Each structure stands twice: as C-alpha cells, then as structure tokens.
Structure 1
Amino acid sequence: MTVTGSASPQPINPDKPEISFLPKDYKATDCNLDNPVVISAQVEEPLVKKVLMDPGSSVDVLFYSTFQKIKLSDKAIQLSSRELVGFAGEQVPIRGYIWLQTTLGNYLDYKTVDIQHLVVDCRSPYNIILGRPSLNEFNAIISTVHLCVKFLS
C-alpha cells in the first residue's frame, strides 16, 4: 500500500532566514563526533558555564544547585507539584519554575530572551539544559559535527 500526496511549497518566513555552517565553524578538537554541544550563557547577571544544548529535551531545566549558586531567592520559584520524566522513564520532582533573562552570544553579537526554566533538585554534570523551547525562541541551530550553535542576533 502506498500513500501519495502533493507537496505544496513551504512559505518563506523572513523570521527564519538561512543559517549555514562553514569549515571555519568547526570547533571539535578530536575525531569523536558524539560530543554534546555545551556552551556558556548569561542567566540574569552571572555567566553560567556547562549549559547543555539539547534539542531532544522538551523543557528547559535549571538545576537547583545552580539556582543556589547564582543566588536567586527560593521565593522567586513558582511552585509546581509535577514530575519531569526522562528518556528512560525515570521521574524527577519539579520544585517549580522560574522565568529568567537568558543571553547567548558575545559582546557584539548576542540575543536575550525570557526563558521559563523548570527547577529540579537532582545531580547533573550540567548546570542548565536548554531544550527545544529556548532553542526555538532563539531560532538556534545546533551542529553536533561542528560542536557549535548559531542563531540570529
């Protein structure tokens, strides 16, 4: 059985211009192309290192240990009694969520957006996970081959 359909041309969206990666964008230091894309981002005031860019995550996660290190008040967390379910079905209680101004880029080329971070209290090698919601908000494209991310500033 086959299904055929006519492919209608996709409308051109000026908010989503072309982004490409060039050989000069290659940041990998070894031949292992399975490394995650990890960056630094300014979250409110401090620069936060070890921010995982994860297009497989449906939420943006701020780990409670990082929340404490950037000296935010627990009163700023909007409480939630839900649980975050991981890829393997593991469940992590959500302490709540918080909206934080998050900046990607450098001094001349940057973009700042308000991101809703779920605050979870569990161990992680990362401080923050930026998932599809923030990647879409930034119009960010990740290249795991180049180990970099590009977005329009």
Structure 2
Amino acid sequence: MPLTDIHSLETRTPKVFKGEFMDITFREADARWVHHPHNAVLVISLQIGTKNIYRVFMDNGSSTNILYYNTYRKMGLPDRDISAEDAWVYGFSGESARFIGSIRLPCTLGEIPLLLMKMLDFKVLNQESSQNVFLG
C-alpha cells in the first residue's frame, strides 16, 4: 500500500465565485509615475493600521508577507509588538537574512463599496528595499 494518496484535480468540483464581477481598470492619471514602455510588476498602496503604505509589491507566488523594518519604524510602531521568531529568508541578493520577528496587523485595501479589511501576518525584515512591503 502506498504511503501517500494522489488526488486528481479533475475530480474536484469547481469553486464558484459568489461576489460581483467588476473590471479592474486604470486611468491615464494612474500611470503618471510609470515610465513607458514598461513591464512593471503590480505595485499598489495599502492601509496598514492607520497608515497608508505606498510601494507595496504584490507577488501571489510568495508564501510570506514581508514588512521592512525601516517602514515599520516610520509607522511609529514599537519594537515590543514584534514577536521574536527564528526564521530566515533566502534569495535576496543571493544571501540569507534572518527575520527580526513577526507581527499581525489590520490591513485595508480598496475603497467603499469595494473594501477589504483583513488581519495579515507579516515577517519583519531589517534589509534595504525599494519597496516598503512585500505582499504574498
């Protein structure tokens, strides 16, 4: 008898989206800081706690949300709120880096009537980055 079971994706019932479908559109004003032609990744702004954070890098292939320590300090949050954690990240600049710890923060994305509010877990990383947050 095998030690693992293999399940085919074809046997799953498809998930049904229960919300409204809305187009995501961009206006000319949204591209005022974009240098054309471009192949830029998705970079958004996000409200974390009571602060609007810009230059949030979206990567749906990542399993971790990273809040850079410089951004954390600028948000005025105390270091004592960071839970110590022994975790490492690999691949940035070809090196490994140790996280300072983790923190759970309320995040708001969008505008009324399309508003998403959710508590997200972030790993805090003391490393230089052109982004403020890396959202997986």
- TM-score bracket for the superposition, by shorter chain length: 0.7 to 0.9
Indicate how the Cα distance of structure 1 residues 53 and 6 shifts in structure 2: closer, same or farther if over 3 A, else same: closer
Pair 126,74 (structure 1): closer, same or farther in 2 beyond 3 Å:
same
Q: Give identity over the alignment, percent.
A: 28
Q: Normalization by structure 1: what TM-score? A: 0.69
Q: Is 1:125 the counterpart of 2:130 in the alignment? A: yes
1:8 is matched with which residue? 11
Structure 1 runs not aligned, ≥5 long: 132-153
**Equivalent residue runs for 1:19-98 within 5 Å:** 21=23, 24-25=25-26, 30-32=36-38, 34-86=39-91, 89-98=94-103
Aligned partner of 2:14: which letter?
P
Equivalent residue for 1:116, pick from 118, 121, 127: 121
Compared CA separation, residues 58 and 9, structure 1 to 2 (3 A):
closer
Distance 1:69 1:87, change over 3 A: closer
Counterpart CA distance in 2 for 1:6 and 1:118 is 32
Aligned residues: CA RMSD: 2.7
**Alignment partners' CA distance in 2, 1:20 and 1:10:** 24
Q: CA deviation digits over 1:110-151, x for unaligned, max 9? A: 1110000000000000000100xxxxxxxxxxxxxxxxxxxx
The count of residues paired between Structure 1 and Structure 2 equals 124
Runs of 4+ in 1 over 6 A off after TM superposition: none
Flag the structure with larger Rg: 2
User: C-alpha deviations, 1:91-126, integer Å up to 9, x for none?
Assistant: 111000000001110243211100000000000000
Q: Work out the CA distance in 2 between the residues paired with 1:68 and 1:112.
A: 23
